[in-house]
Amino acid sequence: MLHNLQKPTKPIRTAQLWAKRSSHVRSYLANLSLKKSQHLDAQLLIKVFFIRKSLRLKLTDTYLAKLWQMSLRNVQNRLQQLEEVGLIKRMTNPRAERVGDRWRQERKLVLLIKPNSTSFLASKKCQLSNLQAKPVDKKLTLQVKTSAKMPYVDYLALQDKVSKGSWAFWLRNNQANPRTMGYLLTNIHQRIRNRPDVLESILFDGEAAKLKDSQLVGYVVSEIKTRIAARG
């Protein structure tokens, strides 16, 4: 029956993506060498991200002090500890804004979705040292320092768009057929350009299937065609 072949609705796709993210975060957190208090605080912070359904949040030190029931100074120490183990990333706006008699810098906390250590996504060739091959609109995309290496799936989780440069980088590093690059960077990129969430979900599925290199590329392209309609 045709009605049984309908694609999942956006709310269903979103729920599926967050379920996959939750699985990866729980697995990664379980393997971290953290003290009991650090582990409990990490769980509380992760819960906030998942309740708000966002991987980027503006959480003040005052809010975190109440969440963790600790002093403001200890909040900074805890954030540093969680950042050092790769659970979060602090991203601070270099521009300071004046609030009353004080100057304040905007800071966002980013929850990093770490793949399994045996995953192709965690391999060195998939750690992107320079994803920004082309300038990115600051209004649309959170800037990622080019010196910082991160798996492509983490990079996608921070983006509102899939840049052609990052897509090309990922394709080259997964041994995409050079003869198909033109098609992949035009027709296929057009489908995923505004859907980093779908591409992230597809990569999670590819990881679960233990696909690598050209097999992975073939799977990803096939799933993109299935999950995202082409624009006329």
Nearest-CA neighbor of 180 among 127, 217, 140, 143?
217
Nearest-CA neighbor of 121 among 1, 220, 226?
220
> How high does pLDDT run on average in the chain?
77
pLDDT for 77: 93
pLDDT for 160: 81
From 1.10.3470, 1.20.1070, 3.20.20, 1.10.10, which CATH number describes the 2-111 domain?
1.10.10
pLDDT for 10: 63
Can you spell out the DSSP letters for 172-183? HHTT--GGGHHH
Domain ranges for the chain, please list them: 2-111, 120-227
Ordered alpha helix ranges (H), the chain: 10-30, 36-52, 61-68, 72-84, 152-157, 164-173, 181-183, 189-192, 196-208, 213-227
pLDDT for 42: 94
Q: How far apart are CA 49 and CA 27, in angstroms?
A: 16
pLDDT for 41: 94
Which parts of the chain register pLDDT below 70? 1-10, 13, 93-105, 114-150, 231-232
